[in-house]
Amino acid sequence: MLTLNFSQADILELNYERFHYPSPIVQKRMHVLYLKYLGVGHQEIAGMMDVHPNSVTNFIKLFRTGGMNAIKELNYNGSKSELTNHSHTLEKEFERHPPLSSKEAGNKILSLTGIERCPTQIRAFMKRIGMRFLKLGHVPAKADPVKQKKFLKTVLEPVIRDAQKGKCHLLFLDAAHFVFAPFLCQLWCFARKFIPAPSGRQRLNVLGAIDAVSKELVFMANSTYINAETIVNFLKKIDWVYNDRLPLYIVLDNARYQHCEYVRQTAQDLKIELLFLPPYSPNLNIIERLWKFTKKNVLYGKYYDSYQEFQKTIIDFLRKINHVKKIKTELNSLITTNFQTFENSQNLAA
């Protein structure tokens, strides 16, 4: 049986690049390796990724032989671009000053190398050196990477290990507020599409907690607001669901209605240990990934005639999470206990 030893850096890169690498062929290879890391069998991987079982074996051997660079190599030998001779210089420049457009990149290339190329050729060159046209992200300016790292090492990781051994339950709790409005996204289409926008600002509030090991979801929803009383009722519901008397830990943020004495006292009475995240640390709460997953599946690019239909669709989808195998499989690879810290972010202000 082929075995692999992945470093933490390999795991993080695989998890990201299986969705974002410019080449779909490399994306598939990355996805196969990530599923292998999760312990999925060769035959099941082959079925999930629509490849021959021999290809799964070949990808694993390729990684063992040449690491991540071998997985990215496509062995295509075309004509060499004149810009290739300046790749190192241009990579350094674009790393420091990412261009807003291919036109801006072309002007920078012309000033540095004297070589002029059309926008199409500029885009192709940037893709060849590993650049992608990505939406600019943001991180909380007040986030403290040192506190996040300390919380991970001293608080969260020991509880995760105990949960994986069956010694306790570990849940990640958060609220999502789905506004009854268009959720715009990118589509493959022949002309730009438009989606109707309903009037008003009604929203569905969902309070959820997902199990870090089983990926089971407990949730409650309303169309009014979430306050300390809502949190207390939700803690009682969780206590009712997890009634085997194993220690129960819940990770949550520092929202005022969650941090009050009423909530703390209720948790203490129920023998629930609340693990409050460091301030400005949504990256350490894995249920945030579930909210994005929900938007992608039922909200992006969708129009609902009424708020009632909008509400029902979201709640029905959340109810399926614990029962539909296809959704569970996707969540198993998405909601892992691997965390990205802000100290590893590509920060323009750094």
Q: What distance in Å separates the CA atoms of residue 143 and residue 294, rounded to the nearest whole number? A: 26
What's residue 65's pLDDT? Answer: 86
Tell me the domain boundaries of the chain: 8-72, 83-128, 145-344
pLDDT in tens, 164-194: 999 999 999 999 999 999 998 888 778 888 9
Closest CA to 174 of 74, 251, 94, 275: 251
Q: What distance in Å separates the CA atoms of residue 326 and residue 293, rounded to the nearest whole number? A: 13
φ/ψ region of 200 (left if φ > 0, alpha if ψ in -120 to 50, else beta) reads left
Residue numbers in the chain where pLDDT is lower than 70: 1-3, 75-80, 139, 141, 342-350
Closest CA to 152 of 316, 281, 61: 281
Rg of the chain over CA atoms, in angstroms? 23
End-to-end CA distance of the chain: 45
pTM over 0.85: no
What's residue 68's pLDDT? Answer: 87
What's residue 241's pLDDT? Answer: 95
Annotation: CATH topology of 145-344:
Nucleotidyltransferase; domain 5 (3.30.420)
Give the total residue count for the chain: 350
What is the 8-class DSSP label of residue 270? T
- 253, 277 contact by CB (below 8 A): yes
Write the CB contacts of 56 (distance below 8 Å, at least 6 apart in sequence): 32, 36, 42, 45, 46, 49
